[in-house]
Amino acid sequence: MNNRSSVEIFTEWDIVAARQLGRNEAKNSGFGTVDQARITTAISELARNIYLYAGKGKIEIERLETDGMKGMTIIASDEGPGIPDLRRVMEDGFSTSGGLGAGMPGVKRLMDDFKVESEVGKGTTITATKWLR
Amino acid sequence: MNSKMREVVNEHMDTIIEKWIDLMKEEKGERFFHFMPQHLVEKTSREFTMLMTSNINEGDTVLNNERLDDFTEKVVRFGWSIKFVNKAIDNFASVVFELLEDKEIITEQNLRIFMGVFTAWINPLRESIIEAYAIKWEQTDALQKVALQELSASLIPVVDKVSIMPLVGTIDTERAKLIMENLLEGVVQQRADVVILDITGVPVVDTMVAHHIIQAADAVRLVGAKCMLVGIRPEIAQTIVALGINLSDFTTTSTLRRGMQEALSLTNRQIVEVE
Amino acid sequence: MNVRIPILKLDEVLIVSIQWELDDQTAIQFQEDLLNKMHETTARGVVIDLTSIDFIDSFIAKVLGDVISMSSLMGAKVVITGIQPAVAITLIELGIRLENVMTALDLENGLTKLRTELEA
């Protein structure tokens, strides 16, 4: 069974597609309603970041099962401009899009594990995992 | 050689038990041998001995698992510590060793061989006891976690429109999430206008706990109710101010009783005495 | 593809019930429609019911927050009703507090709250 699925992010509608995929996967993995909302919201934020800053990219969703722990990983990757100051985007209230600035630190709080890899001019990959309690 | 050992052990079983009990009585920290009725001590000791010798009797490698499980369960029920059980095994082994030396079955010539026999006898016993204890602990641990989750946060509808959640014990991140979920689901389900969080039973309110409480109250506001914080003891008030935590957006009271009055007045009601 | 969210008028109150997942376009369209309707009808209050919504991200939260600020500029009060527990928790964890927003458990409570607010 292939436990990895993905959505290409290119238009605003792809954001909707990505979070619908995430919501279904979360539901099928056995996550409760609150965790489903957390995962869906995190995907929405990550997909919107790709759409706004990189123009195009990909959201991948992978179901995990290791050492009796079940979970779900979201991988958001793009080949956009990259993030010049990683530390700054992880500060609460920092935003360049005129949004609420909830973006990255917010996503980190919604998920259990969170990792950003970014290189200016090459792109960004964000990996975020939620474990089934 | 083993048959000889078996013979002697079986023959002198009573002496062994007696000596072993004497040794165990000298152990500090456990009251079992001092306070239990004599016949119970006798019975348990015999069971212990039976188990200890069962794998000598049945051949070296076969360990009677069923009897071991049964015995371990009994020992656990007596509340012996694992240290004490280990000591019991040690003492038993040395009593038997001394006896065998007395009867000149163990001599200087065959000492090395008997060391091997003893290791093969004692080690599996010790290992299975430890394993059995570990499994017991894990089970207890899991049960306690479930029990803790059950008692950790229930929202009680006390009167129409007012619900109370008493919080007891230390709040960590995991519990805080559970509290938040139960609180919100409860508010919506019970259609509460006001929820009272009672922290009388929370021993320490540090920045993290306060942060969780503030978040919970914020979320309660979003679903359309009001959150009050009651049971603020003097020392908690001191820490909150000392840590610079701002709870000014909250309605807070020191006691649940005053909180209840406040909650009623928020929902335009009051308690009146009837003739 | 583009569906508009219906806005109903009841006396001097506008009632909006969002029944499906909001995409960005629909959200922005809704903001525009609501402000126009407010202007046409001179409504003094708005109830937005979110009972069917199972998540709100920062974008939708911003649209909602903006709608509330804009409405108050136009002299109308907004009550948000039926935010699901899961949605409330996610919003708080995202760091979106939606301060100065009136909320109520459901549409009925929301209407009562708005009426008392308007009478005051």
What's the rounded Cα separation, in Å, for the pair C85 and C95? 15
Other CB atoms within 10 A of residue B213 CB: 24
Chain A residue numbers touching C66 (CB-CB < 8 A) = none
Task: Give the best residue of C92, C97, C102, C106 to mutate against chain B (max B CB count within 10 A).
Answer: C92
Distance of CA B273 to the CA centre of its chain: 47
The shortest C-alpha distance from B130 to chain C (Å) reads 44
What's the average model confidence in pLDDT over C5-9? Answer: 93
Residue B222 one-letter amino acid:
L
Burial class (CB in 10 A: 0-12, 13-18, 19+), A124: buried
pLDDT at B265: 93
Question: How many pairs of residues across A and C have Cβ atoms under 8 Å apart?
Answer: 83
Say which of C89, C93, C106 has its CB closest to residue B184: C89
pLDDT at B60: 47
Angle at C53 between CA A62 and CA C90, to 5 degrees: 60
pLDDT at A95: 55
Asked if pLDDT for residue A102 goes beyond 60, the answer is no
For A44-57, how does the pLDDT look when each residue is reduced to its tens digit (9 = 90+)?
A: 999 999 998 899 99
The per-residue pLDDT of chain A, averaged, comes to 88
Which letter does DSSP use for residue B116 in this model?
Answer: H
Chain A residue numbers touching C55 (CB-CB < 8 A) = 19, 23, 36-37, 40-41, 44
Query: DSSP assignment of B28-89, as one string?
Result: SS--HHHHS-HHHHHHHHHHHHHHHHHHHHT-SS---HHHHHHHHHHHHHHT--HHHHHHHH
Q: Does the distance separating the beta carbons of A36 and C90 come in below 8 Å?
A: no
Does B227 lie at the interface with C, CB-CB under 8 angstroms? no
β-sheet bridge partners, residue B108: none
Strands, E assignment, A1-85: 4-9, 57-66, 69-78
Residue C85 one-letter amino acid:
P
Burial class (CB in 10 A: 0-12, 13-18, 19+), A37: buried
Q: Is A11 helix (H, G, I), strand (E, B) or coil?
A: coil
The shortest C-alpha distance from A21 to chain C (Å) reads 13
Q: Does the distance separating the beta carbons of B215 and C103 come in below 8 Å?
A: no
Chain position carrying tokens 């928020």: B266
Chain position carrying tokens 């939260």: C61
Residue B104 to residues A20, B57, C25, Cα–Cα distance (Å):
81, 20, 96
| Among chain C residues, CA nearest to B221 | C103
Chain C residue numbers touching B188 (CB-CB < 8 A) = 84-85, 105
pLDDT at B116: 83
pLDDT at B236: 87
Chain B residue numbers touching C52 (CB-CB < 8 A) = none
Chain C residue numbers touching A107 (CB-CB < 8 A) = 94
pLDDT at A100: 47
Does C89 lie at the interface with B, CB-CB under 8 angstroms? yes
pLDDT at A16: 92
| pLDDT above 90 coverage of chain A, percent | 65
pLDDT at A2: 58
For B140-156, how does the pLDDT look when each residue is reduced to its tens digit (9 = 90+)?
A: 888 887 777 666 678 99
Say which of A34, A48, A106 has its CB closest to residue C94: A106
What's the average model confidence in pLDDT over C27-34? Answer: 94
What's the rounded Cα separation, in Å, for the pair B36 and B79? 12
What's the rounded Cα separation, in Å, for the pair C119 and A20? 42
Reported ipTM: the value is: 0.88
CA-based end-to-end distance of chain C: 42
pLDDT at B75: 67
Q: Are A31 and A71 in contact (CB under 8 A)?
A: no
What's the rounded Cα separation, in Å, for the pair A80 and A122? 6
pLDDT at B129: 79
Residues of chain B with pLDDT under 70: 1-2, 28-32, 54-68, 70-72, 74-79, 149-152
Say which of B180, B184, B221 has its CB closest to residue C103: B221
